Structures are given as C-alpha cells and as structure tokens.
Chain A
Amino acid sequence: MPRSIWNGAIAFGAVTVPVKVFGALEDRAIHFHEVHLADGGGIAHQLVDPTTGKEVPRDKVVKGYEVSSGKWVVVSNDEIKAADQPRRKAVEVEDFVPGDQIDPTYYDKAYNLAPQDGAERGYALLAAALQKTGRVAVGRVVLRTKEQVVAIRPAGDDHLLRMHTMHASDEIVSGGDLDVPTPRKNPAKREVDMAGKLVEGLATDFDPGRYQDTYRERVLGVIKRKAKGEEIEVTERERPEPSDDLLAALQASLDAVGGDGKPKRKTRKKR
C-alpha cells in the first residue's frame, strides 16, 4: 500500500468520514537529470546573492513578498500557516452539484481517497449516495498550508472516491482574453460538410487500453543506441506546411479514409 499524503475527514452535515489521501497518478515518463554538456558534470542548483556572487546557505534564506518596488515584507512559514486556520482537519463540504455541470477545465490535481480504520461504512455510504444522485461534493480543505477548493466524486464502478483540487474561476482564461486571427471568409458549407464526414469517419469509443506512451520506448532506444556509440541523426524541427487549399486537403483526406473509419494513408505508408 502506498503512503498517504494527508489524513483528515470528509465532513458533510453532522457526518464525518475520516480518509487517507493518495496521489491518483504515477508519472511513468523517463526522467533525466541535468548534465553540463561541455564536461559531463552533474548540475547543482545554488541560491546565489547576485550582489556578491556568492552562494547563500539555507539558514540565511527567508521568504519575502514585494509590496512595492524594492520594499519587501518577510514572512515565516508559521505566519503563512496563520492565513488559513481550519478548526479541524477536514474537507468541509459546502454543496453538492450535478457532476456533469463541472467543466473538467476546473480540475487541477487528482487524488484517490481511502477510508481510515473504522470509516469504511461511512465511505461506502458516501460513494453509493454520490453515485446514485450523480452529484459531486464541493468543499474546502487546507492541505499543507493552503486552503483549496476540492471536488469529491465517485470513480465509476471501482467504489473509489476521488478528490480533485480546483482552479478558482478567475484563474480560468477565457477565449476572449486571447487575440486570435479571424478569417475574412468563413468556411463554406461544403467544407464544413466534408470536415464533418471526416470527423464521423474517425469517431470511435474511448478505450483506455488503446492509448500507450510509445515515446518512452523510443527514447530508451535512442539512449541505448547512444550508449553503444552510435550517432543519433538529428532532423530539423520544421513543421508541416499549412493547408492553403482547404477544399483539396479535405477531399484528399476523405479519399484516404477507408470504409472502416481508419485512415488508409497510415497503413499504406507501412506497406
């Protein structure tokens, strides 16, 4: 069993369900460490005072907030902790909302929840009741030193409760905040119809087993080749030419899509 990152309760009404919190994901990407290319030396991150050019020992480092240019207010970790003062270690549920109303854009980090000893019945009850109502619990909890808004939802048929920390609404960038070029002429109906057909041809069920990180293996392959002393051929990072003749590109794409809904050009390439 993995180690929990936080222990506390889910509290709604007069009910408290003590739970343990675990990370829901495990990063399986290949991790590298930084190396100085010139001499192969490892890299250390040093805190340096630019006025003296010298490294500063950790016990001489404080946290500061710039209230006006060059004017700093120094705060300690205990003072930061004083910002949120929870009465108890709990996710205080404020509302239950229909799960399908939450745009997943709001979700930040995902956690798995497990009951603490003695809380199994309360946990199973909350999972069942959320499942039955299609609701998600929205509440607040202080994790480490920061109060977070979180959503707790049942994870399908696993009888598992998951918790997502959430972004605040003012942290969500809206499309209107971005400056996006608009075409002088909107796509023609014929183009929309053809693109629609192409989408339909590529429509399928989401099957988690099908999506695998193929890059991991390829990177390992490159590493092994380099270890054997082979030269790694480097290609230019050019991007494909944009399609200027939209209609022709759509027609060619449609021609390439077979009746089975899979693009033929890929299998053709292999042959």
Chain B
Amino acid sequence: MPRSLWRGSLSFGLVNVPVALVSAVRDLDVHFHQLHADTHARLEVRRVCKKGDHEAPYEEIGYGYELEKGKEVVLTQEELDAAQPEKTRTIDITEFVDVDQIDPVLYDHPYFLIPDDTGEGPARAYRLLVEVMEKQGRAALGSFVLRTKEHLVAILVRDGLLQATTMAFPDEVRPADELDVPGKDAKPKPKELQNAVALIEELSRDFEPERYKDRHRERLLEIIERKRKGQTIESPAEPETPEAVPDLLEALERSLAEVRGR
C-alpha cells in the first residue's frame, strides 16, 4: 500500500468522507545514488544552517519569504496553515463539470482518494459518491492546500475508486500568443491537408498504452549490467539535427506511397 501524502476530508454538500491521498502513478525510473568517488560510501543530504554551520533537522525548518529587500518574514507550517485552515484539511466539492471541457494541459498529478476510516458510515458514503459520479460521468471540482500550495482538483471515478488529479490554475497556463505560432492565416493548401489527413489515417490505430514500453529503463539497466561485467561503454555519437522538408507536398506523397506499399 503506498504512503498517503495527505489525510483530510472530502466534503460533498453536508456529507463528509475521511480520505487519504495516495499517488495513482508509481515511479519506476532507474534511480542512482550519490556516492563518494573513492570509498563508494553512500552520501546523505544534510540541511545545514548557514548561521553557525550546524545541522538543522527537518522539524526545525520554517518558510522564509523576502517581503522587501533585506526584510525577511519567517512562517511556521502552522502559521502558513492559518492562511486558510479549512483548505488544509478539506477538499470541498463545489461543482460538477463535463470532463471533456477540461483542457488536459491543466492536469498535474493523479492521486487516488481512498476512505481513511474503517467505519461503515464513511465506507458507504464513499461508495455512494463513486456510484453517483460513475453514473453521472461528470468530474467533481474542488481545491485544497498541500504544504505550501493550493491545488485545484478534478475528481473522477477510475477502477471503482475516486481519482483526484491536481490541476494548475488556468492563469498558470502560458498563453499561445507569447510564442511565434502560425495563426489562422497560415491555412495549409487543400492538397497538402488532404495528404496529411490521409497519412494520419494510414498510421492510425487504437490507443494501447502497453505498446509504449519504457525502453529507457531497460536500456539503462543493460548499460549498468555491462558496466558491472567490466565492459567499456562507448560515448554515443551526436544525433543529427533534422531540417524542415523543402517540399511538404512531395514529402507527404512519398510517405503515403511508402506506407501504402508496405
């Protein structure tokens, strides 16, 4: 069972369900540790106070904010929580929306909300929310505070459980107009669009996530195994930098001919 990152209450109207937040994705990346080059002793990160050079345990660390140059204000976790106490312990469902209306760019991290109480009442209230939300097919929206930051969350049913995905606030999305992106006037030529659509159709298939294995993980483990056996790992060659194709239509036609000739 994964560790819970937050424990609180999910509130829906006047119904309160005690819940714990656990990550809905696991990190399977190959992780390295930092070692001493000579002794291979595994190193530790220590928080050291710059005043007097002594170790400062995690519990003794507060939040510093420079309000103006040279004027620093320090808050404890409790004082920070006092900014909006109810949001540090409750996800209040304020509305339900059509999930297709939410731009996925907003999604940050998916978590499962699981009942954090063995009582019959909370377990049934949780089950009720799952049943109703599954039937309605809408996403519940709410927000809560995790450590130092408020998160918008979208709650949906996945695998019979409530999944809460943290979201960025819409004003945190970088606008398209700060980039040089061709606008409406850059309309592709009909023949090009027709060929591009045909090529996409030829290369289309259903989304099967199992097809896209993490090859990096396997290859990195292979490198480690080769290194363990004392083999030399050669530095890779620099990858080429592709140019834009000079003739879009020709490249599309060539691609189509190749795909159809397979």
Contact = CB atoms under 8 A, between A and B. Distances in A.
A243 interface: yes
Interface string A4-28: 0001110111111110001111111
B65 A30 contact: yes
Interface string A221-253: 111101100001111011111111110011011
A205 interface: yes
Interface string B75-103: 11011111111011110011111101111
A253 to B, nearest CB: 3
A132 to B, nearest CB: 6
Contacts of B43: 47-50, 56, 61
Interface residues of B, number: 185
B186 A106 contact: no
Contacts of B24: 105, 172-173
A44 B223 contact: no
B244 A132 contact: no
A215 B176 contact: no
A62 to B, nearest CB: 5
Contacts of B107: 104, 107, 110
A32 B254 CA distance: 55
A146 B216 contact: yes
A214 B84 contact: yes
Given A36-B51, A123-B181, A249-B14, A211 B1 contact: no
B67 A227 contact: yes
5 contacts: A14-B254, A36-B62, A63-B34, A98-B206, A168-B212
Contacts of A196: 132, 135-136
A78 interface: yes
A72 to B, nearest CB: 5
Interface string A124-139: 1111111011010010
B124 A122 contact: no
Given A44-B49, A128-B188, A240-B16, 16 more contacts: A1-B178, A13-B255, A13-B258, A32-B64, A39-B51, A46-B48, A89-B239, A129-B196, A132-B193, A183-B127, A199-B96, A199-B136, A200-B136, A219-B148, A234-B82, A239-B16
